[in-house]
Amino acid sequence: MYSKGQPMVVDVLAGDTVYICRCGQTKTAPYCDGSHKGTGKEPFEYTAKINVQLYLCRCGKSGNIPFCDGSHKI
């Protein structure tokens, strides 16, 4: 379980593509499930070149959405 004020950590393997929800309606957070249809919003597409951990913003304060920039600590 993730706290709204803390980042969500997502592991992405090299060569894999993930689609991160940006509409807030998905039932499979943080991943897009197509619920954005008709909202005018599209998912954030990320393809990893190397194995990586993504730190996704959950507080809504990041200046680099969808990634956490530590703004929740301020």
Mode of pairing for the β-strands spanning 17-20 and 44-47: antiparallel
Contacts of 62 (CB under 8 A, 6+ apart): 68, 69, 71
Query: Across the chain, what does the average pLDDT equal?
Result: 90
pLDDT value for 60: 84
Q: Is the pTM of this model over 0.95?
A: no
The residues spanned by each domain of the chain are 1-74
**Per the structure block, which two tokens stand in for 61?**
């304060």
What pLDDT, in 10s, does the model give residues 32-63? 999 999 999 999 999 999 999 999 998 888 99
> Would you call the peptide bond into 7 cis, given omega within 30 degrees of 0 as the criterion?
no
Provide the CA 45 distance to its chain's centre, in angstroms.
9
Mode of pairing for the β-strands spanning 17-20 and 8-12: unpaired
pLDDT value for 72: 85
In this model, does residue 5 exceed pLDDT 80? no
